[in-house]
Amino acid sequence: MKAITVLLPLLSLSTSFASPTGEQIVLGLAETSRVPGLSSGDALHAVNEWLDDAKKAILKGKNNLEKWYHDGKEFIKQNELLYELVSHPSFDKYQLRVTEPELCDTSVKQHAGYLDIADDKHLFFWFFESRSSPSTDPLVLWLNGGPGCSSSTGLLFELGPCSIADEGKNTTFNKHSWTSSANMIFLDQPVNVGFSYAEDGTTVNNSPVAGKDVYAFLELFLARFPEYSKNPFHISGESYAGTYLPHIASVIWDGNKQLELAPTPSLKKINLESVIIGNGLTDPYTQMGSVADYACEGPYPVYSDPQGPECAALRTKVPSCQRLVKSCYSYNSRFTCVPAGLYCNSQLFGPLIQTGLNPYDVRIPCDAEKNGQLCYAQMGWIDSWMNDPKVKVALGVDPARTFASCNMEVNQAFALQGDGMHNSAELLSELINGGVRLLIYAGNADMMCNFMGNERWLDVLESSFQSEFVAAKAIPWVTANDGKLAGSVRSAGGNGFTAGNVTFVTVFEAGHMVPYDQPEAALDLFSRWIANTPLSFE
CA distances 462 to 272, 399, 433, Å, are 20, 48, 9
Question: What are residue 443's DSSP bridge partners?
Answer: 507
| All residues at 6 or more sequence positions from 271 whose CB lies less than 8 Å from its CB, including other chains | 229, 230, 231, 232, 233
Beta strand 139-143 pairing with 357-358: unpaired
- How far is C-alpha 494 from the geometric centre of its chain's CA atoms? 28
- Between CA 165 and CA 173 the distance in angstroms is 10
Identify the bridge partners of residue 68 per DSSP, sorted by sequence position.
Answer: 75
CA 148 to chain centre: 10
Inter-residue contact 477 to 403 (CB < 8 Å) = no
Q: Please report the DSSP string for 128-164 in residue order.
A: E--SS-TTTSPEEEEE--TTTB-THHHIIIIISSEEE
Q: How far apart are CA 520 and CA 482, in angstroms?
A: 10
DSSP 103-120: -S-TTS-EEEEEEEETTT
Question: Which runs of consecutive H residues, i.e. helices, occur in 345-465?
Answer: 350-353, 368-371, 377-386, 389-395, 408-415, 428-433, 451-460
Amino acid at 452: M
* Burial class, 95, CB count within 10 angstroms (exposed 0-12 / middle 13-18 / buried 19+): buried
Residue 293's alpha-carbon distances to 260, 351, 490, in angstroms, are 46, 14, 20
What does the alpha-carbon distance between residue 315 and residue 421 come to, in Å, rounded to a whole number? 19
How remote is the C-alpha of 67 from its chain's centroid? 34
Using only C-alpha atoms, the chain has a radius of gyration, in whole angstroms, of 22
**Beta bridge partners of residue 98, listed in sequence order:** 84, 113
3-state helix/strand/coil string of 55-104: HHHHHCCCCCCCEEEECCEEEEEECCEEEEEEECCCCCCEEEEEECCCCC
Q: 139-143 and 233-238: which strand pairing?
A: parallel
CA dihedral over 392, 393, 395, 398, signed as positive or negative: positive
Catalytic residues: 239, 446, 512
